[in-house]
Chain A
Amino acid sequence: SQQGEEDPQALSIQEGENATMNCSYKTSINNLQWYRQNSGRGLVHLILIRSNEREKHSGRLRVTLDTSKKSSSLLITASRAADTASYFCATARTSGTYKYIFGTGTRLKVLA
């Protein structure tokens, strides 16, 4: 399977704490994206990091990318109950057919 792996599979933290999720992938990529999915809903794009970038910030989100290790991490700082959702990384390959490979996802629960 080409699917990426994410860890942890589930994470439960207190409001105000930071949450870190990791994503590993298998092929060379053009970019890596993180998405959030609330239960029973579609996905919402959070952040895109290109293969030549190492770190990117957006509000309370910080994403890092290590292409040598084929891994990425998503850090959510000062978490809120509204951050409770599943988080997926998705990679776009550098060549071949255009398609996205989604990671297995991390289910984050932020306790108020």
Chain B
Amino acid sequence: GAVVSQHPSWVICKSGTSVKIECRSLDFQATTMFWYRQFPKQSLMLMATSNEGSKATYEQGVEKDKFLINHASLTLSTLTVTSAHPEDSSFYICSASVPGQGARGIQYFGAGTRLSVL
């Protein structure tokens, strides 16, 4: 089956530093990946759609300068939280769909990254 790897699984950082989260499709090429944010006991909120070779599409209310997304290859998308603050502490999850199914096909999720900003 399709596997998406997300790294790191847990990161603790000081306020003001930047954190990079990687999302890799291990056994397929993903032209589109999605980044979500999830607060405790709440649903997933889509932050942005990452397209290989082009700029990411951000959802309304998401600061693109704060959450930098790079999708430089067909197997890797990165989310960088710049100048992190405690309010950025959250669970971040990426997903990708298998080509051929279309972006409305099954989403394969990474295991998530728990970010704690001190």
- Chain A residues with CB under 8 Å of chain B are 3, 30-31, 33, 35, 40-45, 48, 88, 90, 92, 97-105, 107
10 contacts between A and B (CB under 8 A): A42-B93, A42-B110, A42-B112, A43-B44, A43-B93, A92-B104, A99-B34, A101-B46, A102-B46, A104-B43
- Given A88-B43, A100-B46, A103-B43, A44–B109 Cβ distance below 8 Å? yes
Contacts of A102 in B (CB 8 A): 36, 43-46
B107 and A42 form a contact (CB under 8 A): no
B49 and A90 form a contact (CB under 8 A): no
- Chain B residues with CB under 8 Å of chain A are 4, 6, 32, 34, 36, 41-46, 49, 57, 91, 93, 95, 102-112, 114
Min Cβ gap B94→A in Å is 8
Q: Considering the complex, give the chain B residue whose CB is closest to the CB of A104.
A: B43
Contacts of B107 in A (CB 8 A): 33, 35, 43, 45, 90, 100
A103 to B43, CA, bound (A): 7
Query: Which of B41, B49, B102, B110 has the most CB atoms of chain A within a 10 A radius of its CB?
Result: B41
Q: How many A-B residue pairs have CB under 8 A?
A: 62
Contacts of A97 in B (CB 8 A): 49, 57
Q: Considering the complex, give the chain A residue whose CB is closest to the CB of B95.
A: A43
Contacts of B43 in A (CB 8 A): 3, 88, 102-105
Contacts of B104 in A (CB 8 A): 30-31, 92, 98
Contact of A45 among B42, B91, B108 (CB under 8 A): B108
